[in-house]
Structure 1
Amino acid sequence: MTEIEGALDGDTDAVRAALVEWYEDDHRDYPWRRTDDAYEILVSEVMSQQTQLDRVVEAWDAFLDRWPTVDALADADRSEVVAFWSDQRLGYNNRARYLHEAAGQVVDDFGGEFPQTPAELSELMGVGPYTANAVASFAFNNGDAVVDTNVKRVLHRAFDVPDDDAAFERVASDLMPPGESRVWNNAIMELGGVACQKNPRCDEAGCPWREWCDAYQTGDFTAPDVPTQPSFEGSRRQFRGRIIRLLGEHEEMELDALGHRIRVDYAPDGDYGREWLCGLLDDLEADGLVATDDRDGEPVARLER
Structure 2
Amino acid sequence: MTDEEGGRVDGVEGIRDGDIDVDAVRESLVSWYEDDHRSFPWRETDDPYEILVSEVMSQQTQLDRVVDAWHDFLDRWPTAESLAAADRSDVVAFWSDHSLGYNNRAKYLHEAARQVIEEHGGDFPRTPGELSELMGVGPYTANAVASFAFNEGDAVVDTNVKRVLYRAFDVPDDDATFEEVAQALLLDGESRVWNNAIMELGGVACGKTPRCDEAGCPWRQWCHAYETGDFTAPDVPTQPEFEGSRRQMRGRVVSTLKEYDELPLDDLGPRVRVDYAPDGSYGREWLSGLLSDLADDGLVEVDDREGETTARLRR
Task: Say which of 7, 13, 21 aligns to 1:11.
Answer: 21
Q: Which amino acid aligns with 1:186?
A: N
Secondary structure, counterpart of 1:221 in structure 2 = coil
Q: CA deviation at 1:225?
A: 2.9
Normalising by the residue count of structure 2, what TM-score does the alignment of the two structures yield?
0.70
Q: 1:4 touches 1:171 (CA, 8 Å); kept in 2?
A: no
Q: Which amino acid aligns with 2:136?
A: G
- Residues 7-59 of structure 1: CA deviation (Å, up to 9, x unaligned): 66241000000000000000000000000000000000000002100000000
Q: Please say if 1:224 is aligned against 2:234.
A: yes
Q: CA deviation at 1:4?
A: 4.7
Q: 1:121 touches 1:132 (CA, 8 Å); kept in 2?
A: yes
Q: Please say if 1:179 is aligned against 2:206.
A: no
The 2-side partners of 1:125 and 1:102 are apart by 5
C-alpha change, 1:123 and 1:22, in structure 2 (3 Å) is same
Q: Which amino acid aligns with 2:61?
A: T
C-alpha change, 1:170 and 1:6, in structure 2 (3 Å) is closer
Task: Say which of 143, 164, 181 aligns to 1:154.
Answer: 164
Q: Which amino acid aligns with 1:82?
A: V
Which residue does the alignment assign to 2:101? 91
Q: Which amino acid aligns with 1:113?
A: D
The 2-side partners of 1:199 and 1:226 are apart by 9
Which residue does the alignment assign to 2:74? 64
- Residues 40-97 of structure 1: CA deviation (Å, up to 9, x unaligned): 0000000000210000000000000000000000000100000000000000001000
1:227-242 mapped onto 2 (5 Å cutoff): none
CA RMSD of aligned residues (A): 1.3
Which residue does the alignment assign to 1:47? 57
Secondary structure, counterpart of 1:144 in structure 2 = coil
The 2-side partners of 1:201 and 1:226 are apart by 14
Q: Please say if 1:78 is aligned against 2:91.
A: no
The 2-side partners of 1:158 and 1:73 are apart by 42
Which residue does the alignment assign to 1:130? 140
Gap regions ≥5 residues in structure 1: 228-305
The 1-side partners of 2:195 and 2:235 are apart by 22
Task: Say which of 24, 33, 36 aligns to 2:43.
Answer: 33
Q: Which amino acid aligns with 2:225?
A: A
Moved over 3 A (4+): none
The 2-side partners of 1:4 and 1:105 are apart by 44
Gap regions ≥5 residues in structure 2: 1-11, 238-315
C-alpha change, 1:148 and 1:140, in structure 2 (3 Å) is same
C-alpha change, 1:215 and 1:59, in structure 2 (3 Å) is same
1:93-132 mapped onto 2 (5 Å cutoff): 93-132=103-142
Q: Which amino acid aligns with 2:80?
A: V
The 2-side partners of 1:46 and 1:75 are apart by 19
Which residue does the alignment assign to 1:280? none
- Residues 136-158 of structure 1: CA deviation (Å, up to 9, x unaligned): 00000000000000000000000
The 1-side partners of 2:193 and 2:153 are apart by 11
Q: Which amino acid aligns with 1:79?
A: S
The 1-side partners of 2:19 and 2:111 are apart by 48
Q: 1:27 touches 1:190 (CA, 8 Å); kept in 2?
A: yes
Q: Which amino acid aligns with 2:195?
A: N
Q: Which amino acid aligns with 1:26?
A: D
- Percent identity between the two aligned chains: 79
Which residue does the alignment assign to 2:174? 164
Q: Which amino acid aligns with 1:60?
A: W
Q: 2:208 touches 2:235 (CA, 8 Å); kept in 1?
A: no
Secondary structure, counterpart of 2:181 in structure 1 = helix
Q: 1:4 touches 1:12 (CA, 8 Å); kept in 2?
A: no
Which residue does the alignment assign to 2:283? none
Q: CA deviation at 1:5?
A: 2.4
